[in-house]
C-alpha cells in the first residue's frame, strides 16, 4: 500500500511518454501502409528497436555508472541530472501543447521527405521520434528512483504505464477507442508538472548534499514528527509531490518558483493553442 503513490507517479510518466511514442509509430505505420510503402515498415521497426535498446542502456548507465564515486560526486551527478530531467519534461509538455494539432500532418510530410531520400532516413526518423520519449522516460524514472530510494515500485509503475500506452495507442490508431487527446495530454501534463516540481526540489537537495549549493542546514520546516516518512500519508506526499518532512529553504523556494512560473505558462499555452471544436471531433483530428 505504501508503494502505491510511487507506482502511480511513474505509471503516469510511462503512460504519457509511451502513448506519445505509440501514437507516433502508429501514425508512421498507417501512413506507409496507406501510401503503399510497406517495404519501409521494417526500417520503422528497426529504428524503434534501436531506440528502445538505447533507452534501456541509458537507464543502466545512469543506475550503475556513478557506482564507486565519492558520495559528493554521486550527489552532484544525481542532482544535476535530476534538474536536466525536469528541463526535458517541461520542454516536452510545452512542445506537445503547441504541436498536438499539427503532429499528424507534420509526420506525414517528414515521412514523404525521408522516403524520397532513403529507407535509412525513415528508420532514423522513427529512432529519433521514439528515442526522444525513451530517453526522457529513462532519465525522469531514474530521478524518481533516486528521490524515493526504491527501485521496485517506480519500475513497476513505469512498465505498467508503458504497457497500457502501447495497447491504448494501438486501439486509438485503429479507431477502436475514441480518446480526446487534447484533454488527456493537458491533464497528464498538469500532473507531470507537479511531479517535476518535486524532482527539482530533490535535485536541489542532492546539490546541497554535494556541497555545490549552500543552505543544507537552513530548514524551511521539519514536520517529521507529524508526518513520519514511513507512514501512509508520508508516502503519499512523497510519492506524489515529493514532499520531504525535512525541507530546506532552497528546496521549498525551488518547488514554489517552478509551480508559480511553469503551471500558469502552461495553462496560457493551452488556451492560446485551443483549436475549434470541430477539430476535436475524432481522435484522428485531434492530432492533425
107 HSE (CA, 13 A, CB side):
26
Higher pLDDT, 54 or 233: 54
Q: For 263-275, how does the pLDDT look when each residue is reduced to its tens digit (9 = 90+)?
A: 999 999 988 876 6
Alpha carbon 108 to its chain centroid, in Å, reads 24
Higher pLDDT, 63 or 266: 266
Residue 147 contacts residue 204 (beta carbons within 8 Å): no
Reply yes or no on whether the pLDDT at 285 is more than 80: no
Q: Report domain extents, the chain.
A: 4-287
Reply yes or no on whether the pLDDT at 260 is more than 60: yes
**Torsion angle of C-alpha atoms 77, 58, 165, 169, degrees rounded to 10:** 130
SS3 248: strand
Task: Please choose, from the candidates 34, 17, 186, the residue with its C-alpha nearest in 3D space to the C-alpha of residue 98.
Answer: 186
Q: For 68-97, how does the pLDDT look when each residue is reduced to its tens digit (9 = 90+)?
A: 788 888 889 888 988 988 898 898 889 888
Amino acid at each position: 500500500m505504501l508503494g502505491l503513490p510511487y507506482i502511480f507517479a511513474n505509471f503516469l510518466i510511462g503512460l504519457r511518454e509511451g502513448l506519445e511514442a505509440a501514437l507516433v509509430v502508429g501514425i508512421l505505420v498507417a501512413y506507409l501502409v496507406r501510401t503503399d510503402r510497406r517495404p519501409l515498415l521494417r526500417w520503422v521497426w528497426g529504428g524503434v528497436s534501436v531506440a528502445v535498446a538505447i533507452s534501456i542502456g541509458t537507464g543502466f548507465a545512469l543506475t550503475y555508472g556513478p557506482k564507486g564515486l565519492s558520495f559528493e560526486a554521486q550527489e552532484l551527478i544525481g542532482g544535476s541530472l535530476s534538474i536536466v530531467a525536469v528541463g526535458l519534461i517541461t520542454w516536452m509538455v510545452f512542445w506537445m501543447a503547441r504541436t498536438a494539432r499539427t503532429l499528424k500532418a507534420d509526420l506525414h510530410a517528414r515521412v514523404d521527405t525521408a522516403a524520397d531520400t532513403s529507407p535509412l532516413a525513415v528508420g532514423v526518423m522513427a529512432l529519433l521520434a521514439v528515442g526522444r520519449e525513451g530517453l526522457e522516460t529513462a532519465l525522469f524514472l531514474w530521478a524518481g528512483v533516486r528521490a524515493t530510494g526504491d527501485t521496485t515500485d517506480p519500475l513497476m509503475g513505469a512498465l505498467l504505464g508503458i504497457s497500457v500506452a502501447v495497447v491504448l495507442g494501438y486501439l486509438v490508431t485503429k479507431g477502436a477507442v475514441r480518446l480526446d487527446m487534447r484533454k488527456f495530454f493537458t491533464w497528464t501534463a498538469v500532473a507531470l508538472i507537479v511531479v517535476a516540481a518535486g524532482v527539482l526540489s530533490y535535485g536541489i537537495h542532492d546539490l546541497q548534499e554535494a556541497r555545490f549549493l549552500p543552505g543544507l542546514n537552513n530548514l524551511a520546516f521539519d514536520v517529521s514528527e507529524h508526518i513520519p516518512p514511513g507512514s501512509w500519508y508520508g508516502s503519499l506526499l512523497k510519492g506524489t509531490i515529493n514532499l520531504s518532512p525535512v525541507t530546506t529553504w532552497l528546496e521549498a523556494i525551488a518547488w514554489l518558483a517552478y509551480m508559480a512560473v511553469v503551471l500558469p505558462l502552461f495553462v496560457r499555452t493551452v488556451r492560446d493553442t485551443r483549436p475549434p471544436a470541430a477539430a476535436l471531433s475524432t481522435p484522428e483530428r485531434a492530432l492533425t
